[in-house]
Amino acid sequence: MPMSIGDIMTEEVMAIHMDDTLLTAHTLFKQLGFHHLLVIEERRLMGVLSDRDILRWIGPHLDTPAETRADLERMRRPVHQLMTRKPVTVTPDTAITYAGNLMLEQRVSCLPVVNDRGHPVGIVSWRDLLSAHVMLQHV
C-alpha cells in the first residue's frame, strides 16, 4: 500500500489566531524553530504564515543593532494582514506523490492537513516529503 500524507505529516502543529501580532509569530518562529504557522479561528484553518512572509515584510534589521522603530511598529500588525488566505490543503489519506506534485504546481513549501470538516490535523512540508522519498529509497 502506498504511503499517504497521514504517514509522514507532523501532527503537532503550532497555531496562532488571526489577530495575533507578527511579533507573536516571529517570537514563536525563533523559539520553536518552525517555519510555518497555521492561522486558526474557531478550529477552522484560515491561513498560513511562514517565517519568510515575516522576513519579507520587516526586512533584515529586526533583532539587530540596525533595528528601527519602524521595524518594531510593523511587528504590531495582525497576522491576518500577511498570511496566505485559502491555503492549498490535503487530507491524511492524500497520496504522497500527489501532495508533492501539488506543492510543485502551487509553488508552496507546506500543505496544511485537514479533516473532512476543514479542521487542521497536521502539516506536511517539502522536508517531510524529501525525507519520505529518501526513506523509501532505502527500503
Indicate the range of 25-39, 57-71, 76-90, 100-114 predicted with least confidence.
57-71
Distances (CA, A) of 88 to 11, 21, 82, 106, 124: 17, 23, 16, 8, 11
The reported pLDDT for the residue numbered 1 is 59
CA angle 24, 48, 91 (to 5 degrees): 135
pLDDT value of residue 95: 93
**Residue 90 — very low, low, confident or very high, per pLDDT cuts 50/70/90?**
very high
Looking up cell 508552496 gives: 108
User: Which cell numbers hold the place of 8?
Assistant: 509522514
3-state helix, strand, coil in the chain (%, to 5): 40, 25, 35
Q: pTM score, two decimals? A: 0.84
SS3 at position 70: helix
Residues facing residue 110 across a β-bridge: 125
Q: CA dist 90 to 78, 126, 129, Å?
A: 26, 13, 13
pLDDT tens sequence across 5-54: 999 999 888 899 999 999 899 889 889 888 999 999 988 999 999 988 88
Strands 84-85 and 110-114: unpaired
